[in-house]
Structure 1
Amino acid sequence: MKKIWFGLILFASGVQAAVAQTAHSALGIWADEDGKSNIEIARCGGSLCGRVVWLKEPNNENGQPKTDINNPDAAQRGRPLLGLTIISNVQPEDETQLKGLVYNAEDGKIYDLYLKPQRTTMEVEGCFAVILCGSQIWTRVQ
């Protein structure tokens, strides 16, 4: 019986290490699939978050920094997109995937987020109501 418990403890430790490695492998700066932005994934308290650190077109047609104009909260519409935290509450879901939330500044909505980081790429999937999902492959910049 002791051998079984010991084996289960070792297995659980291995799973925890794999889950921790998944979270660690998401850290860094990632270029989105369209080349429009770079997002930095970092630790934020007990979870991970992501903020916009580069925009291909940082200014609007008037030459002013782009802001969060589609936010449903009028008080938030003046926030600059550059530096905006768009990914939050990211936690390991299993050994290969992280789950959190992503804010889409293009429509002002928050979606469920699933990240599957690899060494140089990361599958990024945003979902509304579990069945309506879109995905991209991001590339590690740093």
Structure 2
Amino acid sequence: MKKLIFFLVLLLSIGNVFGQDKGDAIVGEWLSSSKEGKIQIYRQGNKYFGKISWSKNPGNLDTKNPDEKLRSRTIVGSVILKDFEFDGDNEWEDGTIYDPKSGKTYSCNMELKNANQLKIRGYIGISLIGRTEVWDRVK
């Protein structure tokens, strides 16, 4: 019985390790569809985040941010993707995306179309009401 329990624990551990590696497929730098910014996606714990690493206009401030204290910060360095979880297949779900142009935060899902294209779907309420962009991996 002890051997069976050990074997099951080992299998679950191996599955989590390999699943997480597949989840890291989005880690790296991505160019937005407008070509105005680059977003560095990284893993923190079991969740994925993204911050603006480059902007066409690097001195722009986050003037539309609903938090008045953050309006004086530059857009570069701002975390705009938060709390994504890998679903074990090919999608990252249950996160949010912040749009510095409007100052609004939306629910968001991401899907890797191929090794170099990431589909971003921001929405309000349900995924049907939203907008999709495709970002390209920076090589």
- TM-score bucket (shorter structure): 0.7 to 0.9
Match of 1:138 among 107, 119, 135: 135
**Structure 2 CA distance, aligned partners of 1:136 and 1:26?**
15
Q: How many residues align?
A: 128
Taking every aligned residue pair, what percent have the same amino acid on both sides? 24
Cα drift, residue 46 of structure 1 = 2.8
CA contact (8 A) 1:126 1:135 kept: yes
CA separation in 1, counterparts of 2:55 and 2:74? Answer: 11
Alignment of 1:91-106 (within 5 A): 91-99=85-93, 100-106=95-101
2:28 counterpart of 1:43: no
Give the deviation of 1:116 after TM superposition: 0.7
Are 1:18 and 1:95, in contact at CA under 8 Å, matched by a contact in 2? Answer: no
1:81 alignment partner, one of 75, 78, 84: 75
For structure 2, the residue ranges without an aligned partner over 5 or more in a row are 1-6
The Cα RMSD (Å) is 2.2
Unaligned runs of 5+ in 1: 1-5, 59-64
**Aligned mate of 1:113, from 105, 108, 116:** 108
Structure 1 segments, 4+ long, off by >4 Å, are: 12-19
Larger RCO, structure (CA 8 Å, separation 6 or more):
1
Instruction: With the length of structure 2 as denominator, give the TM-score of the two structures.
Output: 0.81
